[in-house]
Amino acid sequence: MPAVSKGDGMRGLAVFISDIRNCKSKEAEIKRINKELANIRSKFKGDKALDGYSKKKYVCKLLFIFLLGHDIDFGHMEAVNLLSSNKYTEKQIGYLFISVLVNSNSELIRLINNAIKNDLSSRNPTFMCLALHCIANVGSREMAEAFAGEIPRILVAGDTMDSVKQSAALCLLRLYKTSPDLVLMGEWTSRVVHLLNDQHMGVVTAAISLITCLSQKNPDEFKTCVSLAVSRLSRIVSSASTDLQDYTYYFVPAPWLSCKLLRLLQCYPPPEDGAVKGRLVECLETILNKAQEPPKSKKVQHSNAKNAILFEAISLIIHYDSEPNLLVRACNQLGQFLQHRETNLRYLALESMCTLASSEFSHEAVKTHIETVINALKTERDVSVRQRAADLLYAMCDRSNSKQIVAEMLSYLETADYSIREEMVLKVAVLAEKYAVDYSWYVDTILNLIRIAGDYVSEEVWYRVIQIVINRDDVQGYAAKTVFEALQAPACHENMVKVGGYILGEFGNLIAGDPRSSPLVQFNLLHSKFHLCSVPTRALLLSAYIKFINLFPETKSTIQEVLRSDSQIRNSDVELQQRAVEYLKLSSIASTDVLATVLEEMPPFPERESSILAKLKKKKGPGAVSVNELEEGKREGGELNGGGERGDSSAIAGSNASTPSPSADLLGLRTGPPVTAAAPSAGSLLVDVFSEAGVNDDGFLRDLEPPTESSDSLLAEGPGDSDSAPPSVVSEDPATPLPESNELLNKFVCKNNGVLFENQLLQIGIKSEYRQNLGRMYLFYGNKTSVQFITFTTTVTCPGELQSQLNVQSKTVEPLIEGGAQVQQVINIECLTDFSEAPLLNIKFRYGGALQNLTLKLPVTINKFFQPTEMASHDFFQRWKQLSLPQQEAQKIFKANHAMDTEVLKAKLLGLGMALLENVDPNPENFVCAGVIQTKAQQVGSLLRLEPNAQAQMYRLTVRSSKDTVSKRLCELLAEQF
Amino acid sequence: MIKFLLMVNKQGQTRLSKYYEQVELGKRAALEADVVRGCLARRKEECSFVEYKDYKLVYRQYAALLIVVGVTENENELSIYELVHNFVEVLDKYFSRVSELDIMFNLDKVHIILDEMILNGHIVETNKNRILAPLLALDKMTES
C-alpha cells in the first residue's frame, strides 16, 4: 500500500483544516470559514481561469466546510464543470461534490445529466461507475426520466464489467424507489434474477438488494429467485463454493451476502418444491449446527459475523413458522445467548425470542426461559436490554404463568426507568385483564398499579377497571372493600381517589354494613382527599357525593352542608360551582323516587375492545401488540370486556376528557365544549415556565397549582410584601398609550416573558403565567440610571368596556427606585368574559426633577386564556363544520413578515396556547390548532387553520370560534405574528 | 436499509457524514448532535444498538472516533456492526493505521471508499481489495 501523505499535496487544504482545528472558539471558526468562503468565491468569480487542480482544491474545501454544518450556496457550477474534465481526479471530485451537496431539485440537474450521459456512453468503466454512483446518490425524477431505460441495459449486458454491474444494480434500485412508474419491467427482469448466479460475489451482493426490492413489489414475477437464492446460499453455507474469492471474513464465508440471501427468502413463503425446501432446511440446520461448533477464531469479529447469519436464519425460521423442529432448536440457541456475556447477543436474543413466543410451535419452549428473562429484567444494566426483557415477558405470558409475570412486572415497576413505565403499566393492565380468572386478582393488580406508578396510569387504565367492575357484579363488593382499604393510606394517588370515588359512589352500599366502613366513614374518607385533588377529580367526587345521598339517605344532611359551603357553591371554577348548586338543589327538591331514578346504578357497558389494548397497539416496538394478539385478546377477554366508548365518556364524570367527544358525566349535566382542564401536561409546563422565570417565590406556584379553591384567595394574596396596599386600579382614562405600544403588545402574543419596554431611563420586564381564566403577571421596573427615581407610581386601568370584561388588580410599588435597582410589581388578572382591548399601564416618576409619564399596553390578550385541546382529524373537521355560521369565522390573507420556517411557525402557534394538531390537515404544509378560551362567564371553543404559501410568501389564516368577537380578535392578533 | 453513517470524535465534531436519504441541512446538525450524545452517554457494557426515533442506531467506537450507522428496523444489527469494522479495516489498510487526521485531510478518499462499500443505503462490496481498487487507480494517475 502506498504511504499516503497527510493532505496529499493539497497544501492549501491542509493549512485550512489545521487552521480550523486550531480555532479556540466557535466564533473564531466561523470567522475563519467566512474568510475562506470569501476567498473561494472571489477565485471562482475572478477573471483568471482556474486550472483543474485549483478547482479541485477549492471544491474539497467547500466539502469540508459543508461537513462542519455550513450551507454552501455557490461552487455548484464549478463542480459541474469538473464533471466534463477528462482527468479522473477532477471528474471524481466534481461527482463527489454533486453527490454530497446537490439535492434532487437542483436547477443544475440538466447540466449534470448531460455529463452523466457522456460518461455512461464513454465505455470507460471508472467513468461509468462515477456516473452511476451519482445517479444512485441524487436519484431525482429528471434523472429517472433520462436514464431509466439505459441502466437496465447496462446492468444485464454481457460485456459490462463487474464493478459497473454492481453500481448499475443499486442505481436502478434508487430510480425504482423514486419513480417506479418510469422503470418498466421487461425482458431484463428475468436476467436480473439470474444475477444471483453470477460468478462474482460482489455482483450478487449488489443485485440482491435490487431483487429484494423488486420482489416485494412484484412477488410473482420474481418467484424464480427463491430457488436461485437457496442454491447460492447452500453453496456458501456448505463451503462447497470454490469461488469465495476474498469474501471470507474472519473465517466466515460471505457473511453479508448470506444475510442478504436469507432476507430475500423472507419475502416469500416456504418453497413449494420439495427439493428446494429440503435443501434450504439443510442450510438452516447447518447454520444452527455451526453455532454449536467451537469457534474457528477467538476474535469477536468471527463470532459476530457467524451470529449475524444465525439471527437472520432464525428470522427466516420464524417467518416460515412451519418447521417445529427448527423453531425449537432456534429457541434453544437463543436461550443460550440469554446468558451470554456479550450484551449485544443478550439484546438480540431477547428481541428475537419475542417473535418466537408468538408461534404455537415454540411458545412452550420460550416459556422455559422465564426465570432467565425475569432475572434479566432485574439485573441488566442497560435500559434497552431491560426493555426487551419486559417485552419478552409480555409476549410469553399466558394463563399458566400470568400471575408470576404480572407480579414480577409489578415489582419491577417500583424501580423501573421512567422512560418505560407508561408502557409497562399498559402491559400489566392488559395482561391482568386478559388472564384474569378471578376478578379480585384483577382489581388488586390494577389498584397496585395505581399505588406503585400512579403517575403513569393513563385514563384508559382506570376507566377500564371501572368498566369491568360495573359489568361484573361478582367483583363489586370486593372492589368496594379493596378500594376503601387503599384509600386509608395517608398519601394515595389521585387516580386512586378517582377510582375510589367512582366505585364507592356506585357500590359503597355493599360494604356499608360493616361499622368500620359505614356510609359516613366512607364519605369522610373520600372528603378528606377532596382538597388535595385537581378540579376534574373534585368534580367526580361531587358526583360521588350526590350518589351517596341516594345510596345512604342518612348522609344527606352532612353532604348538603358540604355542598352548601362557600368553597363549593361559590367556587370560582364554573364546573364545580355548577355541580354543587345543581346537586344541592336536586337533593333538596327531588323526591326519593326521582333521586333513585336519576342516580341509578350505572348500567353495564357494551362489550368492546379494550381501550388499553388500542393504546398499547399505538406504541411501537417488538413488544407492542400484534394484530393476532389483539384478536386473541378479544377472544379470551371477551367474557369480561366491558364497553369502551361509553366508559370513556361517562366513567370520567366530566373529568379531563382529552378526547373531544362530548363528555357526558354521570348526570349528563355538563354542557359546553369539553376542556382539558389541568391536564398533567399543563402542570409540567407550568413548572417549566416557572423555573425558567426564576421567580423565587413558592407562593406563586402554590397559589396557582391547586386550581382556585376560590378566586378571591388567589387574587388577594399576592407574593408581594405589602399586605395592606389598596388596589391601584382606577377606572378613569389616564393618558393615551405610546404609539409603539401596539407593536409591543404584539411581541407578547405568543410568549409570556420578556422585555416589554426599554428607553434610556427605564426597562420593564415581564414574566407571566396563566391558568384557566386567571393570570398573574410580574412586572420588573429597572432603573437604568445611577440616579434615584422618586415618586414612582404605576396605575393599571381597563378602559371602556374592558372594565366589565377583565378584573385586574395590582399591588402598589415602592415609590423610590435606587439607581441601578429593580422593583417588582405583581398584577393579578381574572378574565370575566372575552375581550379585545388591552389594559393600560401608566407609569409616573421623577428623574432629576423632571416628571416622566408614559403609558403602555399591558400584554394581556385573549389567547392567554387558552387551554389546548387535542383532537383527531375526524373530530376536528366535524367541529369545524359545526362552526359554520358566517360570523363565527374570521379570515385574513396576509404577506409573510418573517421567514416561513416551519419550526418557528410551530413554536409560535404553540406559544399561542392552542394545541397544535399533527396529522389532521390533509396538506402537511398547513397548521391546524384547537383550544378553548376559559373565561369566568363561558368557555369559547376555537379552531384555527394556517395555510402558508411559500411561493407567494403569503399566509391564509382562518379562525372559527363559537363567539364572533373571539374569532375576529384572534385573527387580528395572529395576523401580526408571522 | 442504511439511512446514514456518521464518523464523529469524542468532542462531538462530525468528521464524516453520509446520508442515504434526503435530510435538510438544518436538521442534520441537530440529528448528529442528538445521535452522538445518545451514543457517547452509553457505557461500555451497554449494548451497541439503540432505538432512536424510527431508526435503529448501530455504533462502534475506535479510540476517540465513534462510528454510528442509522438503519431501518429490518436491518440485521450484527451484520451492520461488522460492516463498520470492515470499513475501518479498509481505511486502516489504505492509510496504514488510520487516524482521525487521515479522515479529515482525505475526506474525498474516505468518500470514495465508502461509496464503493455502501451505495444508496445498501451494501455493494465487502471485499477489501475490490473496494480499494478504484482509489489505487486514482492514486496511480495522480503520481504519474
Query: What is the per-residue pLDDT across A110-123, written as a single tens digit (0 to 9) for each?
Result: 888 999 999 999 88
Q: Are A927 and A906 in contact (CB under 8 A)?
A: yes
Per DSSP, the three-state class of A157 is coil
Name the residue of chain A whose CA is nearest to B45's CA: A343
Which CATH topology does A397-598 take?
Leucine-rich Repeat Variant (1.25.10)
Bridge partner residues of B7 (DSSP): B16, B67
Eight-class DSSP state of A817: B
**Residue A684 neighbours by CB distance under 10 Å:** 10
To the nearest whole Å, the CA of B21 is away from the closest chain A CA by: 9
Per DSSP, the three-state class of A382 is coil
- Residue A309 confidence (pLDDT): 96
pLDDT digits (tens, 9 = 90+) for A546-598: 999 888 888 888 999 888 888 888 888 888 998 999 999 888 888 888 888 88
Inspect the interface and report whether the beta carbons of A343 and B138 lie closer than 8 Å.
no
Q: Which CATH architecture has domain A740-860?
A: Sandwich (2.60)
- Residue A664 confidence (pLDDT): 31
Q: Mean of the per-residue pLDDT values for chain B?
A: 90
Query: In whole angstroms, what is the distance from residue A65 CA to residue A17 CA?
Result: 9
Locate A712 and state its grid cell.
378571591
Locate A924 and state its grid cell.
402537511
Sorted by sequence, the CB contacts under 8 Å of residue A189 that are 6+ apart come out as A214, A221, A222
Inspect the interface and report whether the beta carbons of A382 and B83 lie closer than 8 Å.
no
CATH 2.60.40.1230 location in chain A: 740-860
Residues 864-923 of A with CB under 8 A from B: none
Check whether A61 is labelled as a binding-site residue: yes
- Residue A597 confidence (pLDDT): 84
- Residue A104 confidence (pLDDT): 59
- Residue A642 confidence (pLDDT): 36
CATH 1.25.10 location in chain A: 397-598
Choose the CATH number for B2-143 among 3.30.450.60, 3.30.70.380, 3.40.630.10, 3.30.360.10.
3.30.450.60
Check whether A59 is labelled as a binding-site residue: yes
Sorted by sequence, the CB contacts under 8 Å of residue A342 that are 6+ apart come out as A300
DSSP string, A628-674: HHHHHHHHHHTTT---SHHHHHHTTTTS---S-S----TTS---S--
Query: In whole angstroms, what is the distance from residue A127 CA to residue A92 CA?
Result: 8
- Residue A934 confidence (pLDDT): 87
Query: In whole angstroms, what is the distance from residue A961 CA to residue A300 CA?
Result: 65
Give the H or E element holding residue A30.
helix A26-45
Inspect the interface and report whether the beta carbons of A69 and B28 lie closer than 8 Å.
yes
**Residues of chain B with C-beta less than 8 angstroms from the C-beta of A3:** 96
Inspect the interface and report whether the beta carbons of A17 and B105 lie closer than 8 Å.
yes
Residues 5-64 of B with CB under 8 A from A: 14-18, 22, 25, 28-29, 42-43, 45-51
Q: Are A466 and A647 in contact (CB under 8 A)?
A: yes
Which pTM was predicted?
0.65
DSSP string, A190-248: HHHHGGGG-S-HHHHHHHHHHHHHHHHH-TTTTTTHHHHHHHHHHHHHTT--S--TT-E
Number of H helices, E strands in chain A: 43, 16
Query: In whole angstroms, what is the distance from residue A445 CA to residue A452 CA?
Result: 10
pLDDT over 90 for what percent of chain B? 49
Q: At what angle do helices A574-589 and A556-564 cross, to 10 degrees?
A: 140
Q: Are A434 and A401 in contact (CB under 8 A)?
A: no
Sorted by sequence, the CB contacts under 8 Å of residue A575 that are 6+ apart come out as A535, A539, A654, A670, A677
Query: In whole angstroms, what is the distance from residue A862 CA to residue A856 CA?
Result: 17
Q: Are A573 and A707 in contact (CB under 8 A)?
A: yes
Give the mutation candidate from A16, A73, A205 for the B interface (greatest B CB count, under 10 A).
A205
Inspect the interface and report whether the beta carbons of B47 and A92 lie closer than 8 Å.
no
pLDDT digits (tens, 9 = 90+) for B10-63: 888 888 999 998 888 778 888 888 898 888 888 888 899 998 888 899 999 998
Inspect the interface and report whether the beta carbons of B96 and A1 lie closer than 8 Å.
yes
Q: Quick check: B88 contacting A, CB < 8 Å?
A: no
Give the mutation candidate from A100, A130, A162 for the B interface (greatest B CB count, under 10 A).
A100
Q: Are A82 and A94 in contact (CB under 8 A)?
A: yes
Q: Which residues of chain A have pLDDT under 50?
A: 1-7, 620-734
CA distances from B55 to A30, A615, B44 (A): 32, 22, 21
Per DSSP, the three-state class of A577 is helix
Q: Which of A131, A123, A122, A69 is nearest to A94 (CA)?
A: A131
In one-letter notation, the amino acid at residue A45 is K
**Residues of chain A with C-beta less than 8 angstroms from the C-beta of B124:** 166-167, 169-170, 202, 205-206, 209
Burial call A17-50: b when 16+ CB within 10 Å, e when fewer = beebeeeeeeeebeebbeebbeebeeebeeeeee
- Residue A241 confidence (pLDDT): 53
Give the H or E element holding residue B113.
helix B107-117
Sorted by sequence, the CB contacts under 8 Å of residue A838 that are 6+ apart come out as A745, A802, A857, A858, A859, A860, A861
CA distances from B42 to A349, A381, A384, A391 (A): 20, 11, 11, 21
- Residue A87 confidence (pLDDT): 83
Between these two residues, B91 and A951, which has the higher pLDDT value? B91
Highest CATH level, class, for A863-976: alpha beta
Name the residue of chain A whose CA is nearest to B94's CA: A1
In one-letter notation, the amino acid at residue A312 is E
- The C-alpha R_g of chain B, in whole angstroms, comes to 15
Q: Which of A955, A818, A937, A959 is nearest to A891 (CA)?
A: A959
The angle subtended at Cα A914 by Cα A874 and Cα A577, nearest 5°, is: 95
Q: Quick check: A441 contacting B, CB < 8 Å?
A: no
In chain B, where are the structural domains located? Answer: 2-143
Query: In whole angstroms, what is the distance from residue B67 CA to residue A357 CA?
Result: 34
